[in-house]
Amino acid sequence: MPKANRQDPPQADPRPTPPERPTQDDCCHSGCSPCVFELYEEAYERYEAALAAWKARQAGRRGK
């Protein structure tokens, strides 16, 4: 994913959105590996990292 230029308007660098949490019905309860809940946890960790990076970029823009 390309990094946003510091002069780009905010809409050029939208806030990351969290992944959708699976419901209990999304799991087949047969011990799959990886389970949909494991995949969700991995996606959520990537989201948290992306959100932290986005917040840092936003703070840098406000500091200019």
30-40 burial: b if 16+ Cβ within 10 Å, else e? eeeeebeeeeb
Q: Is residue 35 part of a domain?
A: yes
In total, how many domains does the chain have? 1
- The residue segments making up the domain with residue 36 are 28-64
Q: Is residue 43 part of a domain?
A: yes
Question: Has residue 30 got a pLDDT over 80?
Answer: yes
The neighbour count for residue 50, using CB atoms within 10 Å, is 15
Task: Give 1-21 pLDDT, tens digit per residue.
Answer: 555 555 556 568 999 999 999
pLDDT of amino acid 11: 65
- Of 61, 56, 51, 53, give the one whose Cα is nearest residue 9: 61
Q: Is residue 9 part of a domain?
A: no
- Percent of the chain at pLDDT > 90 equals 70
pTM for this entry: 0.74
Cα 39 from Cα 46, distance rounded (Å): 11
